[in-house]
Amino acid sequence: MLSLEEAKARLESAGQSHALQFWAELSAEERDSLLEEISQLEPEELLLHCRAAAAAVSRQSSADGRLDARMEPVPPEFIGSVRKSDKETLQIWGDEGLLQISQDRVAVLLLAGGQGTRLGVSYPKGMYNVGLPSGKTLYQIQAERIQKVQELANLKHGCRCTIVWYIMTSEFTLGPTVKFFKDNGYFGLSPSNVIMFEQRMIPAVDFNGKIIMEKKNKIAMAPDGNGGLYRALVDNNILDDMERRGVEYLHVYCVDNILVKMADPVFIGFCVYKGADCGAKVVDKAYPAEPVGVVCRVDGLYQVIEYSEIQPETAELRGPEGELLFSAGNICNHFFTRGFLKEVVEKFESQLKQHVALKKVPFVDGKGNLVKPTKPNGIKMEKFVFDVFHFSKKFVAFEVLREEEFSPLKNADGAPLDTPTTARRSLLAQHYRWVLAAGGSFLDEQDNPITQKHSVALNEDPPAICEISPFVSYFGEGLEKLLQQKNLNSPFLLDENKAKNLLQTI
């Protein structure tokens, strides 16, 4: 650990001596804690970080049209689509993906370092229960999907394969996540194949470039954004672990999407088939001004442009058939080869753009009083996972259906979108459609037929309540033999035991 003199010298060289202003008031334990924090900060990096944060705010501005003239859509030859592809093509891609999975060449990586602040909870989002009939959390659903797609690959290729689950947490989420998985027996997965690691924490900075003190002995720290992944891969030897296990392809996604297809064989297969080193799933923007980033090319390089950086008239542009020209909405669902990630961390990580987030950061004032600001007073600098796209030599995009694959959980109920209610409805509506597609139908509690409705709006519950365990079906497959010409009473929970009983009645 640093001595007091070493800590003073380190802070002075970065212009941050105020971090020790309450030293005389601290207990021995508090002093040790503060020295430990300071020891994690490299003086040169800290100086550059604080200067960059203050400078970024001064130049921060809204859309000014500078990007618009340089933007172009992703060329059609680099886009795959669930909607526009025939069944045979999708089958080819899916078979390729299952082949790669069967050979232990595919892993998944979960970005789970953020706090559930907007959701209004004090624990990691993956532990959230949106109110499904089964009571399953996001983590449990994802763990079961991993096991199901392993099973599909095993059945097709007569093997016993493993999809390793890497989970990037932060200082805030690591402890609770580890405990949650242990308490739940890793949801049936082998603990040796669930690898949790921490991303770096960086200081929050005020508008004058000074680090903010959260307590007299604690610097206000925040995760370095989901783009902190690339430093964390090195810090925690994750790429070495992938190489040791023979993993060549990584599916990266965010924790809050209840519809995420873990290690999606079709997406993996499409990217491998195209020889891509980097890929992104996208959904059609719902409307021109929808607040989602757009995957496109700028000056010939692929990147995600935030909606706030695009002029309204550019967002409104349409192609020859009336479709939005810039329609590829980013959903933080990506494919990377291990070779590409290795190149990123060795050559490009230091070049990643720093994004500014203005936050209300509680702090202690000069008299040591805790202040909870009512307006933003601090700067948190973040890197974004998608900012590596422009380093790709062969980038592809893959368009999927929003109603089947994207329903994020970000806000507490009461907000108009992305709430526990909308997430629950999305999953239940999907499973309702699966039953109808498999030839099943629903009855109410009095055994009266429920009118079928093949399209369910986002703001309404499906006509019947049905949840299908991932152990029964990964993405709607295999349900015909169970449900064809079956009348199901709503609410209906199709788990493994019920599936076995249905098979026995056939």
Q: Provide the residue ranges of all domains of the chain, joining segments of one domain with +.
A: 68-405, 427-504
Three-state SS annotation for 386-427: HHHHHHCCCEEEEECCHHHHCCECCCCECECCCCHHHHHHHH
Residue 431 has a CB neighbour count (10 Å cut-off) of 23
Read off the pLDDT of residues 202-247 as tens digits, 9 standing for 90 and up: 999 999 899 999 999 999 998 889 999 999 999 999 999 999 999 9
CA atoms in the 13 A half-sphere facing the CB of 318: 7
Q: Check: pTM over 0.75? Answer yes or no.
A: yes
Residue 502, pLDDT above cutoff 90: no
- 354 falls in which pLDDT band (50, 70, 90)? confident
Strands of the sheet with 205-206, listed across from one edge: 205-206, 378-382, 355-359
Instruction: Give the whole-angstrom CA distance, residue 66 versus residue 306.
Output: 13
- 65 falls in which pLDDT band (50, 70, 90)? low
414 backbone dihedrals φ, ψ, rounded to 5°? 115, -30
Please give the pLDDT value at position 353: 85
Please give the pLDDT value at position 66: 75
315 backbone dihedrals φ, ψ, rounded to 5°? -60, -25
Contact 196, 167 (CB under 8 A): yes
User: If you classify domain 68-405 with CATH, what class do you get?
Assistant: alpha beta
Query: Can you tell me the mean pLDDT for 444-470?
Result: 87
Query: Can you tell me the mean pLDDT for 327-346?
Result: 97
Please give the pLDDT value at position 390: 93
Read off the pLDDT of residues 287-299 as tens digits, 9 standing for 90 and up: 999 989 999 999 9
Comparing CA positions, the residue from 327, 382, 310 lying closest to residue 83 is 327
Residue 456, pLDDT above cutoff 90: no
Which range is least confidently modeled, 19-23, 67-71, 167-171? 67-71
Residue 1, pLDDT above cutoff 80: no
Instruction: Give the whole-angstrom CA distance, residue 231 versus residue 243.
Output: 17
Residue 17, pLDDT above cutoff 80: yes
**Single-letter code of the amino acid located at 94:** G
Second-level CATH architecture of 427-504: Ribbon (2.10)
Residue 24, pLDDT above cutoff 90: yes
Residue 214 has a CB neighbour count (10 Å cut-off) of 17
What totals of helices (H) and strands (E) does the chain contain, helices first?
A: 15, 24
Contact 370, 391 (CB under 8 A): no
Residue 412, pLDDT above cutoff 60: yes
Query: Can you tell me the mean pLDDT for 116-120?
Result: 85
Average pLDDT, the chain: 93
Read off the pLDDT of residues 243-276 as tens digits, 9 standing for 90 and up: 999 999 999 999 999 999 999 999 999 999 999 9
Query: Can you tell me the mean pLDDT for 170-197?
Result: 97
DSSP string for residues in 270-311: HHHHTT-SEEEEEEE-SSTT-SS-EEEEETTEEEEE-GGGS-
Which range is least confidently modeled, 36-40, 66-70, 92-96, 362-366? 66-70
Residue 62, pLDDT above cutoff 50: no
